[in-house]
Each structure stands twice: as structure tokens, then as C-alpha cells.
Amino acid sequence: MQPAMTRRTRLAPTPSGYLHPGNCVNFLLVQERAQRIGAQIVLRIDDLDFVRSRPEYVEDIFRTLEWLGITWDIGPQSVHEFHTRYSMALRHEYYRERFAQMSRMGLPIFACCCSRAELQAHDSVRCVRGCAQSTARAGADERAMRLQTPQGGLVSVGGQTIDLGRVHGDVIMWRRDDLPSYHLANVIEDHDLGITDIVRGIDLLESSALHIWLAQAAGLSGVRADSYVHHELVTGVSGEKLSKSQGQASPLEHSSANRRWIHQLARGLAQNP
């Protein structure tokens, strides 16, 4: 008899701002799912954006998880351990090597000099200058490495069908500021950590479709489409999505009233998958 596969899910906060109630609700839903299916929890702090990542935001993650009463089985148990052993900055060259492997596998990757503004001006998610065919060599700092997603490639996830070519087009894998893209690092990390189950906000549904396809294309074990759970987002008073860029300008007050409120929000969303 095959041994039962260990199921694993993850908490994947980004230290680019103070956590907001929406992040807290996601953590509780991850914990709830892990308990329900008997999965281990990994803490993976996505500090890929080294520019926006700040030590106080990392501290805020640990403090908030403790306040919520959430524990995890794998990953850093302290701020110090995170910085010395788990920061993604420590794996920059590793990501580069894994990306080179993908290129050698023959995935359609090319250097693209188009700026985001150019793509927006053409209302396109694909390279607009024909960079893949161009013989003009741009400097490394003027180009990003993009991966062509298949035209008409469909991925079903969360009860929806996502057209990769239309939504993602030529998706950036390696940024012009010499960092791996979020999508690339995410798929590599989920593979390396043996993640089998993901609980994330519905705003990431289209990313999930890309991650499912990318893992398969790159020959990595990925999370199966039916092991993704997408939940509704917690919205602000006027119905707007809460995001770090809109600023949780200061740490969330760790009061017992706030904790009750967040648990209540999570219970509401858990009953409405």
C-alpha cells in the first residue's frame, strides 16, 4: 500500500506593508482548512520585493500570527530565523538557475524590451515590438524575460475557465530589475515545499490558473486545480478591496474586540466558499 501523501498548505504573507484584516481572515481560513483536511501548515514569507519589504513588516507578521493564535509546522519561527535562513533574498541565484533550466527545457521564453506603459498604450498583454524576433540587443537592464502563454490555452479552476493567452499573454518571468517574478518564485517555492493545498483570495484566481499551467509546463509538481480554494475578499466600508498599497498605515490594533471581529468575518467566509 502506498503511504498516504502528506498534505501541506501555506501562509504566504508579503512584508510590503502592515497586515490588514483581510490578511488575517485569510490566515484563519488557511488554518481552518488545514485542520479540516489534516494538512501541515508552512509559513512562507514572500519578501521577493526587496525594495518594499521592511523589517517592521516582517515583525508585524509574527506578532499578528501569534495574536490570532495561529501556529505552523514548517518555516521560520522567529524574525531572526527568517532573515538568516528563509528570506527569498538568500535564494536569488537559486531562482536564476531554476529559471535557466526552464529556458533550456525549451519553454518559449524571450527577452522583451517593451515597457508596461507601451503594452498599456496598445491595450495588449503580449509583446508589441516583436522582441522575440528582433536582432537588436538591449542591455540587460532594459529588458525583461517573458514567457509566451499559449493562445487559447484554457485552465479551469475555482469553477471558472481562464484563457491564459488573453489574461496573461507574454508573462514576465524575470524582471528588468534582475529579480524573479512573483509567479516564477511562487511556483518554484510551492514545488520545493511540497504544497498540495492553497487557500487564497478570489482576486488571485487568474494567477492560480497561470500557476497550474506553469508548474506543469516546467515539469514541477504543482497544486492540483481542485486543491485550490478561493475565498471572497474582506472589503472596506465603501466596498473597496483592502490591499497593502492602499495602506494599512499603521499596525492593526491587536485588541480582543478586533480579534473577535476578524474571527467572525472568517467564520462568515468559511460558510460561503
For residues 128 and 265, which CB has a smaller minimum distance to Zn ion in the complex?
A: 128
| Radius of gyration for the alpha carbons in the chain, expressed in angstroms and rounded | 19
CB of 164 to Zn ion, least distance (A): 18
209 binds Zn ion per the rule CB under 5 A: no
Kindly write down the DSSP assignment for every residue of 129-157, as one continuous string. S-TTT--PPPPGGG-EEEEEPPTT-EEEE
For residues 69 and 130, which CB has a smaller minimum distance to Zn ion in the complex?
A: 130
**Plot region of 33 (φ>0 → left; ψ -120 to 50 → alpha; else → beta):** alpha
For residues 135 and 238, which CB has a smaller minimum distance to Zn ion in the complex?
A: 135
Q: How far apart are CA 70 and CA 168, in angstroms?
A: 34
Number of Cα atoms under 13 Å in the Cβ half of residue 228: 25
CB of 144 to Zn ion, least distance (A): 8
For residues 11 and 131, which CB has a smaller minimum distance to Zn ion in the complex?
A: 131
127 binds Zn ion per the rule CB under 5 A: yes
**Which of these ranges, 97-105, 122-130, 158-166, 247-255, lies near Zn ion under the rule CB under 5 A?**
122-130
What's the helix, strand, coil split of the chain in %, to 5?
Answer: 45, 15, 40
By CB under 5 A, the count of residues binding Zn ion is 5
**Which of these ranges, 10-18, 36-44, 69-77, 113-121, lies near Zn ion under the rule CB under 5 A?**
113-121
CB of 129 to Zn ion, least distance (A): 4
Instruction: Give, in degrees to the nearest 5, the angle at Cα 128 between 130 and 139.
Output: 65
Name the DSSP class of 88: G
Residue type, 97: E
175 binds Zn ion per the rule CB under 5 A: no
Give the three cell numbers for residue 66.
501569534
129 binds Zn ion per the rule CB under 5 A: yes
For residues 128 and 204, which CB has a smaller minimum distance to Zn ion in the complex?
A: 128
Q: Which of 28, 41, 48, 131 binds Zn ion (CB under 5 A)?
A: 131
- Contact map string, positions 24 to 63, toward Zn ion, x by CB under 5 A: ----------------------------------------
Parallel, antiparallel, or unpaired: how do β-strands 160-163 and 154-157 relate?
antiparallel
For residues 109 and 131, which CB has a smaller minimum distance to Zn ion in the complex?
A: 131
Give the three cell numbers for residue 119.
503594452
Which residues here bind Zn ion, judged by CB under 5 A?
A: 112, 114, 127, 129, 131
